[in-house]
Amino acid sequence: MTAETGASLLLVGCGKMGGAMLDGWLAAGTASRVVVVDRVGLPDRLAGDARVSPASGADALPDGFVPDVVVLAVKPQVMEEALPAYRALVRPGTVFLSIAAGKTIAYFERLLGEGAVVVRSMPNTPAAIGRGMTVAVPNAHVSAAQRDLSDRLLRAVGDVAWVEDEGLLDPVTAVSGSGPAYVFFMVEAMAKAGEAAGLPPDLAMRLARATVSGAGALLDASPQEAADLRKAVTSPNGTTQAALEVLMAPEGLQPVMGAAIAAATRRSRELAG
């Protein structure tokens, strides 16, 4: 691989997350060749793209194909069955990049061999629109060049942070990986509260969706801290302050969110074994 030609990739699993990443790689020119293994084949939108070709499985890869990166994007529950077939690709020059939740580096080293070059990552669903947040951790065999390549591949769908302590991926999963669901539930709760206050259901949901997505866009665009933006919206003795006094009470949102994050962190550790 060179900077001019891009990387050769094997994508194992082309569902929503894998497909979103593939679109990002092709758009950015990060990949020069991608072989896709997926039970339903290539998405129609990729028909005719000379850089992408399908394969029915590990035993049907093109002759002589040696990928720079094997991206593991299958569901965690089928990883045990799928992964051993790719053990023949283990070599110092090929990095296995996992986006599967809960599967540890030790797990991949057990199935692939202790010499496998592995990057474990945890993306979230906004990656589907290029606005994801991914945290990644390398094993001891990952070179600086392989880490840089993995970073570029993950940045195709959003922001990336790296950690050295794999144990941090459990709270990362709780905050970021599961986090979009919390936001979607907040939209549901706001809409129901709006209905209870007298708004028509369709208008209540429209207001809740637009407010949350707009506030998120404002937060993303602003250099200010979230707390500063909150204070800027809060007039003394106004409506926002009245609501925040409920949300910020000792029994309000913070302890509930803390309990939720703790529960998700515990479950992530349980799933990782």
Task: Report whether pLDDT(4) > 70.
Answer: no
**Where do the domains of the chain lie?**
7-169, 177-272
Q: What is the pLDDT of residue 77?
A: 87
CA distances from 42 to 34, 55, 101, 113, 199 (A): 11, 9, 23, 30, 45
Q: What is the pLDDT of residues 52-106, one digit of tens each?
A: 999 999 999 999 999 999 999 998 888 999 999 999 999 999 999 999 888 999 9
pTM: 0.88
Task: Report whether pLDDT(251) > 80.
Answer: yes
The contacts of residue 218 (CB under 8 Å, 6+ apart) are 229
Q: How, if at all, do strands 117-122 and 132-138 pair?
A: antiparallel
What dotted CATH number matches 177-272?
1.10.3730.10
Which strands form 158-162's sheet, in the order they lie side by side?
52-55, 31-37, 7-12, 69-72, 95-98, 117-122, 132-138, 158-162
Pick the CATH number of 7-169 from 3.40.50.720, 3.40.1710.10, 3.40.1180.10, 3.30.930.10: 3.40.50.720
